[in-house]
Structure 1
């Protein structure tokens, strides 16, 4: 089977009906796998119809139509949903003769509970992810979504949580031993975008507080297991702030929450043996 470039896009759309922007961003970036959260006001049938009008033949992959997470794709039946829970959905991707797990998540808002509670959720969820890896006999997994944490927050870097590191060479060591237990690494490429001077947006979410604020936060992230690093193109990872010449940033240089969303989408690419549905 031929290896294709598979383009992913994740977007927390803030429960706004912005189907036209979603269609445009998919067309402009040749998206194959689209993941949306906070999307209860998106009419999926309308979205699929509009994508089809653009020559993009997508289907929705979910068990519960009221799921917090929506995944659409244009592969030839090579993605299937495994599990849906309150904060994440799990999918299997048939990548040639290998299985890759795709975990899509939307963790609780960090502004509605203590930071320690969010770290606890992260620790619990990573255990569930690892259990699914064991059941499926694979260590190839991708996690993408709104973590409600920055790459440097405890829930992202702790060995007891996602254990996600900025350095691919360290991630390729596969694991580190903590309290006599091997804890597997994820590689987190989002460090390379955070605060990047050449980007108009310095993160994916903007929030200002009086006493202590980063202003720009990188809550929307993708992390991956070491075996997938060579399939991942770091140069194609980007935060999107313009769609079809329309800026997603307001005049105040912050995400346009009222018209579009308070989060910016992220786009990334993997080389995979996955067939595309071209109609």
Structure 2
């Protein structure tokens, strides 16, 4: 058996130059014992990651809307000993980054995601239209004649909540919170299992209030009537063939603190400390056997 923990964080242009941020991130890497790390909007140097025990596997860049600089949109790192290889060129506007994991004599597609922001795709309809193209890219890789795969995992910042049509429609990602096989009449619709909705909404764990999502809407006014204060923009979905590995591992968790740093404080507004990022990081574990 091989247990691999995944870590994702949209760090909003942070780098090792920020002592408070990098202190929290360094502690997080050790506490989570992450084997595969995906970072969005990162300015952390590959040299720093290498000294922390991580090798760059694949990356994509995108021009910043706020300046003339090129933003490091998405990067995937892995620890030595984990056989993770680049699989394809970044898709779209750097939104999907595909790699191939070889573990326990099996192969899996592992994708990092950082979809366009809601400023670029402001409506559920526009995000749904984009999801059709992204799903076609995913299925194209899965059906590639030279690629043998036992499952696909996509994780990252989707910039939308998990109940939107882009997730739930059979024409979109079709990533739903369904753990049992489909009825026979629905088996022509390949789907993804999406555990993210179960983590949407504030929870109480051992007397501690946990965040209602990974992103807190800080605007003084809502842009549309259906916006929420808490949003679960970051998450994961995977093919049903990978359910047994997820169940044998550890479920999706929103990281709220490290040993020396508090990322979330429930009785403050905003409750996410933006000194670190405006997103909270997520982690989960697959136990491959």
TM-score range, shorter chain: 0.7 to 0.9
Residue 202 in structure 1 maps to residue 212 in structure 2:
yes
Q: Does 1:24 align with 2:30?
A: no
Aligned residue runs from structure 1 range 37-116, under 5 A: 37-39=40-42, 41-49=43-51, 51=52, 57-62=53-58, 68-76=73-81, 78-83=83-88, 84-85=90-91, 86-115=94-123, 116=125
2:38 to 25, 35, 38: 35
- Which secondary structure state, in structure 1, belongs to the residue aligned with residue 162 of structure 2? coil
1:179-236 CA-to-partner distances (Å, cap 9, x unmatched) read xx93211011112211142142110001154354310000101111001001003753
- Matched ranges for 1:82-231 at <5 A: 82-83=87-88, 84-85=90-91, 86-115=94-123, 116-135=125-144, 136-169=147-180, 172-173=181-182, 177=186, 182-198=188-204, 199-207=209-217, 208=219, 209-210=221-222, 211-231=225-245
Q: Cα deviation per residue 1:110-160 (whole Å; 9 max; x = unaligned)?
A: 133332222111110110000101112335000001111111011011111
TM-score between the two structures when normalised by the length of structure 2: 0.82
Cα distance, 1:174 vs structure 2:
9.1
Among 239, 246, 258, which residue is 2:254 paired with?
239
Q: Superposition RMSD on alpha carbons, in Å?
A: 2.2
Divergent runs of 4+, >6 A:
none
TM-score (norm 1): 0.85
Rounded Cα–Cα distance in structure 2 between residues aligned with 1:185 and 1:107:
19
Q: Distance in 2 between matches of 1:167 and 1:81?
A: 30
Aligned length: 258
Residues 242, 60 of structure 1: alpha-carbon distance in 2 compared, 3 angstrom cutoff = same
- Check whether the contact 2:57–2:76 (CA below 8 A) recurs between aligned residues: yes
CA contact (8 A) 2:95 2:115 kept: yes
